Structure 1
Amino acid sequence: MFKKVLRWLFTLTGLIIGYVIGQSLLKVDRLAYFNSSAILKMVSLIFSSLLFGFILFLISPWLNALIKKLMDYFEENIQKVPTVEILLGTFGAILGLVISALFVSLIPKTFIGTVISVIIALILAVLGTDIAVKKKGEIIGVFSNLKKSNAPKEKKTKVVSKGIPKVLDTSVIIDGRIFDICQSGFIEGALIVPHFVLDELRHIADSSDSLKRNRGRRGLDILNKMQKELSIEVQITDKDFPEIEEVDSKLLKLAQVSKGKVITNDYNLNKVAGVQGVPVLNINELANSVKPIVLPGEEMSIQIVKDGKEQEQGIAYLDDGTMIVVEGGRRHIGEMVNVIVTTVLQTAAGRMIFAKQKR
């Protein structure tokens, strides 16, 4: 039904276009003969209208297919954009058009002036949309503050800390443990989340891969939870470094400029930051530091779950995920055995325990 309606609309449009073109042609000196009598004029206009109406009637299936593709493309992409960004973008475009009207009123009403007016309106509308979307966090913050100022004061307020600011990377937001650490009160100073990290989170959340998409959405949920529930100040900054392409390099540069530290659980970023002299707080290192201490000579009862890389080795795990390599444990896979700790290795990647069976 929709296709039929479109086809007749295109045909009607063709008839109107043909009539307008026919009237324009009758004003040409070479075609003045057809304008000499009312009958010839009417026949000419009817012929012109029917010709263009028939042409658009014939090509309407291709036009319908093109419109269908455009609608599908628009629908597919609009679903990936958050509702807040659509509303803010629309508001920014309307504001840009209102501002453009002030400039357009000063331009002479000529053909060139009309073209210039349209260009100015489009530029300001696009600019308004871009600014509104990029400043999303700050705009929402302004309305939230207005709402809070009118509402009764809550007991829990944001603490503006004078500590060293902490720049969060994408991996640590997705990981989620940073929320619990901040809630426990071990982190001081404002948490800084740059817009290019938010953009990376959105790209991950829009990924065609379901695992990446879930990770990205988890990161956005964690960030939203941090903004609402933590007493620590969470700042969304527009600070960017266009000359730097990699997100990790931008993070390190931002930490240097803000004289802060980077919080991450990315091993490679940790190493690069060490080379550049940027202070880093690694969540994995913190987790390893608070694991129960195991000393050489300590006895424990564990279950061998699989064989190790070396001959006759067996592998077991503690409840916190620490791997235990047991000499001669391969023949006891699936069994509970008593072992004695011989060596404990601590690395940035984690803790590894070597043990042997108790005789």
Structure 2
Amino acid sequence: MRKRMIQLVFVILGISMGYSFLPDLWFQLRITNHILRIPVVNALIGLVVMGILALFLVGPVEKLLNKLEKNLAKQQTEVIIAESIAIVVSLLIAVLISTLFWRSQLFFINTVLPIITMILFAYMGWFFGRTRLNDLMKLFGGRLNSGNRKKETEAVLERKAGDNFHKYKLLDTNILIDGRIYDLAKTGFLEGTLIVPNFVLYELQYIADSGDSIKRVRGRRGLDILNKLRSEKIVPVEMYEGDFEDIPEVDSKLIKLAKLLDAVIVTNDYNLNKVSEFQNVQVLNVNALAKSLKPRVIPGEKLNVMVIKNGTERQQGVAYLDDGTMIVVEDGRYFMNKTIEVEVTSALQTDAGRMIFAKPVHSKRGIKEKN
């Protein structure tokens, strides 16, 4: 269908150009053949010439249109509308400015300069429409959403309904692979709409198709978690079909989208958390939530742990709680791969996590027995 439409355009161009321009061309070339003065003959000549050109140009034009269709399909509807409006307004301004040049007798000023002006203003309109989407949507009385039509009462609002307004929650690749987002959503503590951008989904698919078996399992786990969230409808889950082709990194795209939608990023990535905070983007870190919910271990409390490796200092051993908290055991190297009872002496909280210091309980008993 696309190819036939392109061929039809070439046919119309050939006939119209032959009918309109060939008589002047014969006059300029001083060709006085009476047959060439017939409009139908000129139209047929134009059709033949354009038909020959179409044999070489239809393929490239079809590929160009196919690429354009794919790019438009990836764009969000609001972005396309905003870009189109901005381009039309810019072209109207360019036409008004070009009227000042049309009266000139110089070819460059009355012909070339208006064309250059229109090209520059069209590009400026496209750039403005792409980068100032929110402002344009507010200007025309709309609100940016992820593709679903809002209620009329919601469309009237021009600002957020206070600090407790439910913002969009953007999910990154790591939080889907982690899987805890599903359990968190089931508890009901996660409010609002969850948004999964297409570029995050593509990265998950790339990981799931990896040749590394470990990465492949992690990628498939992320896709399974996403499908469970959508199928069970615990919370609203929507897809963002847009992309930022000028930004290569997925994390940078996520931050850009969060700024565009005034959204919150949900992640467990420490580096993404820090970069987002630096760029004034709100982040919900699942690791920070888990750390805040960990039971507090107080000095004097007794625990049963297994020493699994040597510590950094002499005679120290290292054990771990079930939640991954590291315990540094004094004289623990003498109890390697053994489960012993230890008494907590102190706890240290760091940005990387919590560290507990303890010592074997039986060592105290041994001292008491000697006394």
Q: State the TM bucket, normalised to the shorter chain.
A: 0.5 to 0.7
SS in 2 for 1:337: strand
Residue of 244, 259, 263 corresponding to 2:247: 244
Instruction: Please state how far the C-alpha of 1:312 moved relative to its aligned partner.
Output: 0.9
The equivalent of 2:4 in structure 1 is 101
Matches within 5 A, 1:109-120: 110-120=51-61
Q: Is 1:316 equivalent to 2:319 in the alignment?
A: yes
Residues 1:306 and 1:228: Cα distance change in structure 2 (over 3 Å):
same
Amino acid in structure 2 at the alignment position of 1:251: L
- Contact map agreement 1:183 1:230 (CA 8 A) in 2: no
- Tell me the amino acid that sits aligned with residue 184 of structure 2: I
| Aligned 8 A contact 1:298 1:341 in 2 | yes
Match of 1:208 among 203, 208, 211: 211
Distance in 1 (CA, whole Å) between partners of 2:338 and 2:213 is 37
Letter aligned with residue 330 of structure 1: R
Q: 1:234 to 1:348 in 2, by over 3 A?
A: farther
2:353 is the alignment partner of 1:357: no
Distance 1:277 1:171, change over 3 A: same
> Counterpart of 1:297 in structure 2: which amino acid?
G
**Which amino acid counterpart does residue 298 of structure 2 have in structure 1?**
L
1:189 to 166, 186, 192: 192
Following TM superposition, by how much is the alpha carbon of 1:234 offset from its aligned partner in structure 2, in angstroms?
1.3
What is the TM-score normalised by the length of structure 2?
0.58
Secondary structure class of the residue paired with 2:10:
coil
Post-superposition offset of 1:180: 1.2
Cα distance in 1 between the residues matched to 2:340 and 2:220:
42
Q: Measured at CA, do residues 191 and 104 of structure 1 come closer, stay the same or move farther in structure 2, by a change above 3 Å?
A: same
User: Are residues 119 and 244 of structure 1, via their aligned partners in 2, closer, same or farther at CA, if it must alter by over 3 Å?
Assistant: closer
Following TM superposition, by how much is the alpha carbon of 1:172 offset from its aligned partner in structure 2, in angstroms? 1.0
Paired AA for residue 296 in structure 1: P
Q: Is the 8 A contact 2:204 2:219 kept in 1?
A: yes
Q: How far apart are residue 205 of structure 1 and its match?
A: 2.1
Cα deviation code 1:3-59 (max 9, x no counterpart): xxxxxxxxxxxxxxxxxxxxxxxxxxxxxxxxxxxxxxxxxxxxxxxxxxxxxxxxx
Distance 2:341 2:286 in 1: 32
In the superposition, relative to structure 1, how do residues 105 and 243 fare at CA in structure 2: closer, same or farther (>3 Å)?
closer
Deviation, structure 1 residue 305: 2.6
Instruction: Please give the TM-score of this superposition, normalised by the length of structure 1.
Output: 0.60
For structure 1, which runs of at least 5 residues remain unmatched after alignment?
A: 1-97, 136-144, 146-160
Listed as ranges, the matches of 1:3-82 within 5 Å are none
Q: CA deviation at 1:165?
A: 0.9
State the secondary structure of the residue aligned to 2:228. helix
Question: Which shifted more, 338-347 or 120-129?
Answer: 120-129
When residues 290 and 315 of structure 1 are mapped into structure 2, their CA distance, relative to the original with a 3 A threshold, is same
In structure 2, how many angstroms separate the alpha carbons of the residues matched to 1:125 and 1:355?
67
Contact 1:284 1:350 in 2 (8 A): no
Structure 2 SS opposite 1:208? coil
| 1:351 counterpart SS class | strand
Q: Is the 8 A contact 2:75 2:242 kept in 1?
A: no
Matched, 1:260 2:263: yes
* Matched residues, number: 238
> 2: CA distance between counterparts of 1:264 and 1:309?
31
How big is the shift at 1:202?
Answer: 2.1
**Structure 1 residue 171: deviation in Å?**
1.0
- What's the CA shift for 1:99? 4.1
Matches within 5 A, 1:156-167: 163-167=166-170
Task: Tell me the residue number matched to 2:82.
Answer: none
Moved more, 313-322 or 115-124: 115-124
Helix, strand or coil for the counterpart of 1:239?
coil
CA distance in 1, matches of 2:305, 2:324: 13
User: 1:269-318, CA deviations, whole angstroms, 9 ceiling, x for partnerless residues?
Assistant: 11112222211111111122222221122222323232212111112222
Q: Distance in 2 between the 1:233 and 1:99 partners?
A: 38
Q: Aligned partner of 1:182: which letter?
A: A
CA distance in structure 2 between the aligned counterparts of 1:334 and 1:351, rounded to whole angstroms = 22
Amino acid at match of 1:185: G
The residue that corresponds to 1:172 in the other structure is: 175
Query: Does residue 192 of structure 2 align to residue 289 of structure 1?
Result: no
Closer/same/farther in 2, CA of residues 134 and 201 from structure 1, 3 Å limit: farther
Percent identity, aligned pairs only, is 49
TM-aligned CA deviation for residue 266 of structure 1: 1.0
Distance 1:334 1:207, change over 3 A: closer
Q: 2:233, 2:295 → 1: CA distance?
A: 28
- Deviation at 1:355? 1.0
1:204 and 1:213 in contact (8 A); partners too: yes
Change (3 A) 1:218 1:340: same
- CA spacing shift, 1:283–1:294, aligned 2, 3 Å: same
Query: What is the CA-CA distance between 1:186 and the residue it aligns to?
Result: 1.1
Q: Which ranges in structure 2 are unaligned for 5 or more consecutive residues?
A: 12-46, 77-147, 149-163, 365-371
Mapped contact 1:285–1:350 kept (Cα < 8 A): no
1:122 is displaced (CA, Å) by: 3.9
What's the secondary structure of 1:240's corresponding residue?
coil
Contact 1:100 1:120 in 2 (8 A): no
